[in-house]
Amino acid sequence: MNTSEIINQLGEDRELYFGAMTPPIVQTSNFKFKDIEAMRYALQNEFHEHAYTRGNNPTVEILRKKLAALEGAEDALVLGSGVSAISVAVLSAVKAGDHVICVDHVYSWTDHLFKKFLPQYGVTTTFVDGKDIRNFEDAIQSNTVLIFLESPNTMLFEVQDLEAISTLAKAHNITTIVENTYCTPLYQQPLTLGIDIVVHTATKYLSGHSDVVAGVICGSSERIARIFAHEFLTLGTIISPNDAWLFTRGLRTLEIRMERITSSVEKVIKYLEQHPAIAQVIYPFSPSNPQLSLVKKQMKAMGGLFSIILKTTNI
Ligand SMILES: *Cc1c(COP(=O)(O)O)cnc(C)c1O
């Protein structure tokens, strides 16, 4: 199925809602059942049925299908924020006494999760420079259960070799999670490189209009069903049907927005690179990036973020 079909058709059964082009906002907390047996069935199969909106809401379910298909995943969960997606995915992979390896320079609240929050529950983390696979090998302990990646990472836009790290992790029975917010599924598909779970902050490119805070977890049906039945339902950090509807509307233009972002950022960077007050522009596709060949291997194109280093003397 091509991207346009996924974004504009998949998961939407228009026959069910009077042929309306846009899906209804199923603004309900609970659902009615024709008898006790139907209620029991819905409650026992909450992952696919409609029993209560903290579980599976029809407006949110449309997004689940679209986002899973975009990422090349079997299933997805939509949550109330990016950090909620990150926290729920991480909590699904660790327990007291476990050890995590996390790449350096992740998003600030991911950093907080590993440095301040998880130690309260007996989970420790080693941060590594993600540019060299040997740093991951060296950090593995007998109790390491999770490798958390963000590629490219925050501010420095360093990438990690997702295929090599997932191979290493599999050999040690370690779960891998990648935050894929910068690339969106259009520019990078970590699951195809062997990564177990992809998380997104949908607040940024996926919903795209600065009107929704949301997050996404993508993975195998088995893994997503397990997360749903435990962390997702327990923590209850859901997206509302209203926000899910806005998110679906924003997603319709994902392809065209990303095209424009990529072409605009190239012009902005070109301008900044010849500006006398700027020492360096840092971005993954920079010709001077020592990781350029890996960037080209695992990323299709450039997102809109970059960093600048100012010349603070001799201007
Ligand atoms: C914004 C952002 C987050 C946090 O997302 P929220 O939806 O605000 O919770 C996490 N990671 C990255 C890379 C971000 O840019």
> What does the angle CA 79 – CA 147 – CA 118 come to, to the nearest 5 degrees?
65
Q: Whose CA is nearest to atom 12 of ligand 1?
A: 107
pLDDT tens-digit series, residues 200-241: 999 999 999 999 999 999 999 999 999 999 999 999 999 999
Measured from the CB, is residue 203 less than 6 Å from ligand 1? yes
Ligand 1 pocket check: which of 81, 105, 106, 181 to mutate, most ligand atoms within 8 Å of Cβ? 181
Q: Whose CA is nearest to atom 7 of ligand 1?
A: 82
Q: Can you give the pLDDT at residue 84?
A: 98
Q: Can you give the pLDDT at residue 312?
A: 87
> What's the CA-to-centroid distance between 280 and ligand 1, angstroms?
25
Indicate the pairing of strand 278-282 with strand 124-128: unpaired
How does residue 264 score in pLDDT terms, banded at 50, 70 and 90?
very high
Report the mean per-residue pLDDT for the chain: 97
Secondary structure E strands in 64-184: 75-79, 99-103, 124-128, 144-150, 175-179
Straight-line distance from the first to the last Cα atom of the chain, in angstroms, rounded to the nearest whole number: 53
- Kindly state the greatest CA–CA separation across the chain: 79
Q: Tell me if residue 115 falls in helix, strand or coil.
A: helix
CB atoms within 10 A of CB 63: 27
**pLDDT of 253 above 80:** yes
Ligand 1 pocket check: which of 90, 199, 204 to mutate, most ligand atoms within 8 Å of Cβ? 204
Q: Tell me if residue 71 falls in helix, strand or coil.
A: helix
How does residue 313 score in pLDDT terms, banded at 50, 70 and 90?
confident
pLDDT tens-digit series, residues 107-162: 999 999 999 999 999 999 999 999 999 999 999 999 999 999 999 999 999 999 99
Q: Which atom of ligand 1 lies closest to the CA of 202?
A: 7
**pLDDT of 259 above 80:** yes
> What's the CA-to-centroid distance between 258 and ligand 1, angstroms?
18
> What's the CA-to-centroid distance between 74 and ligand 1, angstroms?
23
Q: Which atom of ligand 1 lies closest to the CA of 214?
A: 7
pLDDT tens-digit series, residues 44-89: 999 999 999 999 999 999 999 999 999 999 999 999 999 999 999 9
CB atoms within 10 A of CB 291: 17
Measured from the CB, is residue 181 less than 6 Å from ligand 1? yes
> What's the CA-to-centroid distance between 209 and ligand 1, angstroms?
15
How does residue 314 score in pLDDT terms, banded at 50, 70 and 90?
low
